[in-house]
Structure 1
């Protein structure tokens, strides 16, 4: 007895200062209903036994079938329990069950769930937000508040009213087996701030909350689910640290506290769990800290409280201690009987029971249960997973990313043309989402190793490591939750520890505490923490490395002696594409996705195209990147995002044109000069003296095209002996097909045909591709460099556009390349892996008129560089002034709408006969291609549109794509989605 008196005295003394600070305690809002008419009427309707029943909350599952439902219904009807705590299952079944349970309940049920990181913690088909440790790294607490409002919306939409969150424990024990990653961290101030943000977000959105695990479960190495942990800290330490977040939450209007099963001698000298301790629940929480809201026990089936305590009796003791709600009572009948007997012998006062029931009913009224209506479940899964909810998850993940090291500012990666990159994913034997996203930015050689690494694999990896100058290492977590442990074999661990960290960027997808168990990892060139392993964290971490995302997270816990809490570097802002959701760029995802999907499906159904790739970006954010259909109509091979299409005339603005702009910036080319200035061969011709400004805007009067291939044929359809042979040789080295080889001098014949072609005296818009056959040679004459080498070195390699290439079959298998036409006139075969345009084919596949292949993603990088007025990846390719010149209308007075090389909107919109959507701005520019391709950029809205297809399959006579006007209709959908 003396020990208890001393403890109480010291507790009062030490908390005295804190109590003075409690004068501004904000009472929970729901308490205003404690004596409302509805609460009064319900109280009058309840028998003493039914009032006790209101204190009981039992476990409910939506995946245990009909027998479990019957058991719950029987409990509700027999004991008039106060509420249900839902666990595993699915949202639709949960709503149906809760509606059914409410219908049978005499008193409306309070529905609760333990959803610390959202419904995904318990229910399938729902969203899991980052664990609280990841949230602890976030610097903007408004994001955490926003998460609170969204979690509240989702929980309420599943028929529930109370979330057992936030976790307010200060985790300062790395070996804590039960809190750990569930805590905001080790800094009490930040734990308090973030707990309040999460709590207020939920409560302001109409959800009851419960901060836990009072009085602080952060410094234990025992899991209270299995054993009663003991905390042997002094009163002063407890008051200054463990209790601090709870005091701040109480001051901020917290409406619920969950009491943990802990043995804390400094607060109660008996060996009772804190849940059963009057000194802790009543004297400390209510009287000293002034908390007047709902007090809820931790689960009464946990061994931390059930060991050595009998069912029923333990519940009675929890009520005697001062708890309002008994969570997951093991035996409702025994609990009610014991409490009933305690009331009869005055060890529990009926007035206390009534006051607690009023408090519970007041919470129910605040939650709207006085006007209960069944919860609808129509479109529930879609509503729970709406675009804004998904976007919030991505925003939270990005904001949590923590860069602990970044020597020489290696992240984000720059100068891609100097890097030879390999990725190694540890702990996952299949190509990871992390690796797939890395591949969107550059050519990355991927390696995957599991825990069973063998010497042969190690040797292979060591050779690869020697051949690459940058390693992107992903260390993954195969466990369901990020525990503080390393389960790698000694062989694998030694392999990791022996890596050349001076050229390695490490992305750590595991619990940050476990970093302390890996030697040398702190020597990495860059070290990135994601706190957990998921497709979202992998995706965004990969984007961070290449500059599609940025990081400013701060480490919420210390990692041994390697890194202290608060560590974290800020990386450069976005410098390359960010792959994200439409809402992230201000577009409506439903309008965008459904509109484009339906138009593509219409085109495929009408056999306008067998398949397509579409990429849309706004503000440098890729908001749609999809592949549709199949390679051909007769093929079942689905189009993948990695497949290459023949981009046809889009080559015009993707090859020689950027080279000319680049050379103009270097004062080596001018649009005011003429063909014969750069190709003396044309001096004296009808094309001499015509400036490139006129030629590249199709203003020069050149002929549209020349069927060069027809000159190879005799009248009987066979090839002239000096033009094409069936086999290659020194004289016939130019491959057209595997059994068609062109004479090495035929290029001269093409140039001669262009030189001799007529030129109209009338200077007006007349589309011509002739000069584009000459441009590669002009670039070579100016630079003394092979044309392909020049554009690779100055553009494609730097952009990471690894599929943007000529003659793709030299680099890629045919399975990766989409076929085009079945050519029965010239090549007498299916065109697959080589350029569709006959003239370009006869130039060895290398022309500025056509010849380039690409997937949508790589082509988009070049186009985004244009849209960003010459810069991409923190590198300037072309000056802003030059790009503005080339993308501006040059001869509007002559009714010519073209820019220099670029197509532009018609000067007057012509409805469906226009070349762009009606909402495309006059500043926009782009190009289309004969194979059904289109790229278009609009600086006014900062929008990029890439459309790749093979509408010429199986024949170029198929013009249905034009009749349907699919491409410009898709373009209009983009503007509609912005509206």
Structure 2
């Protein structure tokens, strides 16, 4: 897919900024979860003095190895702190997660599904407590930052029964500051209930490239003003609460901005050709807004921006970017975390033993997931020994990490009450709020034939490439008495699959075809499926369940909706819109360009149909 013209985007951003920020839904924050938000902890001088005294005393008693350990964050395999796992032996030389923490004096641990960190909420809470006890019983006896990537939407580690909420672009479609804040507050409370105290979210990237393979719907919008407003709301939701122990540190990402690339930094080094002026107008505002809101952490991106730094170093390793722009220009005083140091975007350019040293020289404080932890730790120790890094430079980062732990209440209250996990995780209030928020995010892009809203049909065919979405949509329709047939296709349906779907559609009163990134050439078969259904006698409703760009590729379909999600809440909201139980109120947070002419908008920013409903 071609990239939108940047001049057009900057002009559009300037014109829409006042509309986006001035919208009545982007007004004063009302959480609905925490009605009396407090200032960020350590808001008075006496608290600050107490924190600084503790930090000074703690650092004075730490060995160099313990100081270096505080700046590293990695994963460990196993559902409990004492679970022996062969991959721990292979990667870290010890058997259990607790031993990984103790051997390397880690400052933090990050949870993933593939490390068996998430089985159920009570298990996660037990794992967190076990790791904290391991940290508190060894070395400098400092509790851990325990983190994960719970952006919601397509990047969700903590799954059901945890509350599932709309991802960023869905919230951008809703354009509701209260909803964005509440979503973050719920997410943060549920994470903290199981011992996770740092969330690598929200995404502050402005997604101006429809072909972006790694950001896309993880971004709130292509408009920097809208991204700034919603990022700020989420930082507040994660971090501001009358009860500090119900908050988590937010980490805005991926500085200096990953929104205008057609490469994935997990696999390669993306290069973004924004000028300094374009960066300041397009990429920088959300980061500046989040910093002003008090974000604890900024995560770096493994990207090249030659107009910002012509050294050839990725942003993660660039003093010009991290110190010159982030620290000096934007005034960020918190913790700078690298993105995963296992990503090829940084490893393709620099040897593993050099990456942590260069990242520290650039200004990073948390070094996330080096490919070989022992090599990385030894490299930093050797750099201090040789004088390439000073111990005082290490201490600068340790001070920031310790301050974050203090401010987030990790030092005072590192353990969680396992018996109270169910009070927070997936509770009835959270689930109801999640559905209400999701109801604000569905976009009606086309309704040329006036098909919507529709009466409940006797029967419906639901087809598409995602088992989760089909099952959830079928369940929602079935609850309303509709006889539903599910027709699962491959990511790019074959001619045989398409023929089968067209035949099945003829036997049903309504057909709902779900697409997922059909704009991608590797999934072009989805377009043919929708096109064939539109050319049949089927009463067709096409739904873009990920990027809204799909709608521009099949003009033959005259009814298009967008949900930005395949989750159960999104499918319930879709059903409510289709059957006239609620009106669609979402509007496009991005411009949808014509497939063959990126300067022409098939659907402009802010587009969204609505209609009145009764009952």
Aligned: 1:117 with 2:152: yes
Which of the residues 442, 459, 463 maps onto 1:426? 463
Distance 1:35 1:437, change over 3 A: closer
Counterpart CA distance in 1 for 2:339 and 2:488 is: 41
Counterpart CA distance in 2 for 1:119 and 1:516 is: 22
Counterpart CA distance in 2 for 1:190 and 1:357 is: 34
Mean CA deviation greater in 370-379 or 291-300: 370-379
Secondary structure of 1:184's aligned partner: coil
- State the Cα distance separating 1:491 from its structure 2 match: 6.0
Counterpart CA distance in 2 for 1:459 and 1:210 is: 46
Q: Deviations over 1:934-969 (max 9, x none)?
A: xxxxxxxxxxxxxxxxxxxxxxxxxxxxxxxxxxxx
- State the Cα distance separating 1:216 from its structure 2 match: 0.4
- Tell me if the contact between 2:527 and 2:554 (Cα under 8 Å) persists in the aligned partners: no
- State the Cα distance separating 1:485 from its structure 2 match: 6.0
Aligned: 1:199 with 2:215: no
Secondary structure of 1:507's aligned partner: strand
Counterpart CA distance in 2 for 1:313 and 1:538 is: 47
- Tell me if the contact between 2:315 and 2:321 (Cα under 8 Å) persists in the aligned partners: yes
- State the Cα distance separating 1:230 from its structure 2 match: 0.8
- State the Cα distance separating 1:203 from its structure 2 match: 0.7
Aligned: 1:377 with 2:412: no
Secondary structure of 1:116's aligned partner: strand
Alignment of 1:351-362 (within 5 A): 351-362=392-403
Distance 1:251 1:535, change over 3 A: closer
Aligned: 1:74 with 2:74: no
| 1:157 corresponding residue in structure 2 | 193
Which of the residues 50, 56, 73 maps onto 1:40? 56
Aligned: 1:143 with 2:182: no
- Tell me if the contact between 1:256 and 1:295 (Cα under 8 Å) persists in the aligned partners: yes
- State the Cα distance separating 1:161 from its structure 2 match: 1.1
- State the Cα distance separating 1:381 from its structure 2 match: 4.9
Counterpart CA distance in 1 for 2:106 and 2:166 is: 33
Secondary structure of 1:166's aligned partner: coil
Aligned: 1:550 with 2:580: no
| 1:188 corresponding residue in structure 2 | 224
Unaligned stretches of 5+ residues in structure 2: 1-38, 89-93, 136-140, 242-246, 595-601
Which of the residues 154, 158, 168 maps onto 1:132? 168
- Tell me if the contact between 1:406 and 1:527 (Cα under 8 Å) persists in the aligned partners: yes
Distance 1:346 1:504, change over 3 A: same
Aligned: 1:266 with 2:284: no
Alignment of 1:497-512 (within 5 A): 497-499=534-536, 504-512=540-548
Distance 1:99 1:422, change over 3 A: closer
| 1:642 corresponding residue in structure 2 | none
- State the Cα distance separating 1:260 from its structure 2 match: 0.5
Distance 1:76 1:118, change over 3 A: farther
TM-score, normalising length: structure 2? 0.79
| 2:570 corresponding residue in structure 1 | 537
- Tell me if the contact between 2:487 and 2:501 (Cα under 8 Å) persists in the aligned partners: no
Aligned: 1:563 with 2:597: no
| 1:222 corresponding residue in structure 2 | 263
- Tell me if the contact between 1:268 and 1:280 (Cα under 8 Å) persists in the aligned partners: yes
- Tell me if the contact between 1:497 and 1:518 (Cα under 8 Å) persists in the aligned partners: no
Counterpart CA distance in 1 for 2:75 and 2:182 is: 29
Distance 1:422 1:224, change over 3 A: same
More RCO (CA 8 Å, sep 6+): 2
Distance 1:354 1:427, change over 3 A: same
Larger-Rg structure: 1
Secondary structure of 2:74's aligned partner: strand
Aligned: 1:98 with 2:128: yes
- Tell me if the contact between 2:108 and 2:147 (Cα under 8 Å) persists in the aligned partners: yes
Secondary structure of 1:210's aligned partner: strand
Which of the residues 503, 507, 514 maps onto 1:475? 514
| 1:290 corresponding residue in structure 2 | 331
- State the Cα distance separating 1:259 from its structure 2 match: 0.6
- Tell me if the contact between 1:294 and 1:360 (Cα under 8 Å) persists in the aligned partners: yes
Counterpart CA distance in 2 for 1:288 and 1:390 is: 41
Secondary structure of 2:75's aligned partner: strand
- State the Cα distance separating 1:499 from its structure 2 match: 4.0
Alignment of 1:734-753 (within 5 A): none
Counterpart CA distance in 2 for 1:420 and 1:146 is: 35
Counterpart CA distance in 2 for 1:292 and 1:459 is: 58
Distance 1:437 1:163, change over 3 A: closer
Distance 1:112 1:33, change over 3 A: farther
Unaligned stretches of 5+ residues in structure 1: 1-26, 577-979
- State the Cα distance separating 1:388 from its structure 2 match: 1.3
Mean CA deviation greater in 372-381 or 398-407: 372-381
| 1:758 corresponding residue in structure 2 | none
| 2:283 corresponding residue in structure 1 | 242
Counterpart CA distance in 1 for 2:526 and 2:608 is: 30
Counterpart CA distance in 1 for 2:225 and 2:286 is: 7
| 2:599 corresponding residue in structure 1 | none
Alignment of 1:307-706 (within 5 A): 307-378=348-419, 380-381=421-422, 383-407=424-448, 410-413=451-454, 423-427=460-464, 432-438=471-477, 448=487, 450=489, 451=493, 453=496, 457=500, 460=503, 464=507, 471-477=510-516, 486=523, 488=525, 492-499=529-536, 504-521=540-557, 524=558, 526-561=559-594, 562-573=602-613, 575-576=614-615
Counterpart CA distance in 2 for 1:411 and 1:87 is: 41
Counterpart CA distance in 2 for 1:56 and 1:34 is: 25
- Tell me if the contact between 2:548 and 2:592 (Cα under 8 Å) persists in the aligned partners: yes
- Tell me if the contact between 1:33 and 1:365 (Cα under 8 Å) persists in the aligned partners: no
Q: Deviations over 1:74-103 (max 9, x none)?
A: 332233121111111223333222222222
Counterpart CA distance in 2 for 1:345 and 1:568 is: 61
- State the Cα distance separating 1:308 from its structure 2 match: 3.8
Secondary structure of 2:312's aligned partner: coil
Counterpart CA distance in 1 for 2:104 and 2:466 is: 53
Mean CA deviation greater in 308-317 or 335-344: 335-344
CA-based RMSD of the aligned residues comes to 3.1
- State the Cα distance separating 1:343 from its structure 2 match: 2.9
| 2:30 corresponding residue in structure 1 | none
Distance 1:494 1:513, change over 3 A: closer
- Tell me if the contact between 1:34 and 1:358 (Cα under 8 Å) persists in the aligned partners: no
Counterpart CA distance in 2 for 1:160 and 1:268 is: 35
- Tell me if the contact between 1:184 and 1:194 (Cα under 8 Å) persists in the aligned partners: yes
- State the Cα distance separating 1:132 from its structure 2 match: 1.1
Counterpart CA distance in 2 for 1:359 and 1:315 is: 17
Counterpart CA distance in 2 for 1:544 and 1:228 is: 42
- State the Cα distance separating 1:509 from its structure 2 match: 2.7
Secondary structure of 2:592's aligned partner: coil
Counterpart CA distance in 2 for 1:294 and 1:556 is: 30
Distance 1:324 1:421, change over 3 A: same
- State the Cα distance separating 1:426 from its structure 2 match: 2.0
Secondary structure of 2:376's aligned partner: helix
Counterpart CA distance in 2 for 1:233 and 1:210 is: 24
Counterpart CA distance in 2 for 1:448 and 1:77 is: 51
- State the Cα distance separating 1:48 from its structure 2 match: 2.2
Counterpart CA distance in 1 for 2:373 and 2:409 is: 26
- Tell me if the contact between 1:212 and 1:259 (Cα under 8 Å) persists in the aligned partners: yes
| 1:822 corresponding residue in structure 2 | none
Aligned: 1:170 with 2:206: yes
- Tell me if the contact between 2:204 and 2:231 (Cα under 8 Å) persists in the aligned partners: yes
Secondary structure of 1:57's aligned partner: strand
- State the Cα distance separating 1:442 from its structure 2 match: 6.7
Alignment of 1:51-90 (within 5 A): 51-63=67-79, 65-67=83-85, 68=88, 70-88=95-113, 89-90=118-119
Secondary structure of 2:174's aligned partner: coil
Distance 1:373 1:432, change over 3 A: closer
